Amino acid sequence: MLAIKPYESVVPSIATNPLPTLAADSASIWIVIAAYNETSRLGKTLAELLPHYSNVVVVDDGSRDDTAAVAEKAGVWTLRHPINRGQGAALQTGIDFAIQTGADVIVTFDADGQHDPADIPAILAPVLAGTADIALGSRFLGKTIGMPFSRRVVLKLAVIFTRIVSQIKVTDTHNGFRSFSRSAATAIRIYQDRMAHASEILDEIRRQGLRYAEVPVTIRYTAGTLAKGQSSFNAVRIAWQFLVGKVTK
């Protein structure tokens, strides 16, 4: 296990009754990775993770390439969606599996290498310490490497959108780097199969009154991740999916 780095609590916890604390070395920590056509990047991501975390589950979301084979070869738990259902659906599948397997804490982590495994101890800390049900990674409190200006603008607009619609004050809304306590992971059910799940999670945190903390993390952009990532137009579509999902739930 990596050593736990000092945790910087950015958003004061709204907790009045602290949750039971978990020892980092004995808690069952599961890393959930949703992957779609990630043959070229998944292997490196898993190679960085596996020396430190043994409970890793990759959900291959109906990839047309060898993503599942790469995961199987790395020796991690591999789940395959027979057809593509979207990142939100894949994460929920991995979370369900981790809960069934006895996870105490669940971390969601990107397959494409955008997240830094060195940040995992920090994202685990508030949940392990019992000061939060959910820890949310924030690139705007942490660091970004190679983020284009247009992406920064879109993400800032998403923050404003979330403050208005979900009424939750966070600095980063579509960051897939999070940790959940077992009870929070059980309480939150992702119905937004596609990318709007990130907004849905924030919505559920507020609706259920869950305790959250934002944790500075580093997001690394590369030409490959930017090519596959969400375009500015997609941001509008995600917002639309989220709003429609809210009224048709």
Binding site for other proteins (CB under 8 A): 57, 59, 72-83, 85, 89, 92-93, 96-97, 100, 191, 193, 248
Considering the complex, state which of residue 73 and residue 169 has its C-beta at the smaller distance from other proteins. Answer: 73
Token pair, residue 8, equals 């910087």
Rounded CA Rg of the chain? 17
Nearest-approach distance from CB 114 to other proteins, in angstroms: 23
Nearest-approach distance from CB 45 to other proteins, in angstroms: 16
The conformation of residue 84, written as its DSSP 8-state character, comes to: -
Nearest-approach distance from CB 89 to other proteins, in angstroms: 5
Closest by Cα among 93, 106, 4 to 55: 106
Considering the complex, state which of residue 41 and residue 85 has its C-beta at the smaller distance from other proteins. Answer: 85
Residue 178, CA distances (Å) to 5, 64, 70, 136 in order: 16, 27, 24, 5
Token pair, residue 198, equals 């990130």
Nearest-approach distance from CB 54 to other proteins, in angstroms: 11
Considering the complex, state which of residue 50 and residue 187 has its C-beta at the smaller distance from other proteins. Answer: 50
Considering the complex, state which of residue 14 and residue 244 has its C-beta at the smaller distance from other proteins. Answer: 244
| SS3 state at 20 | coil
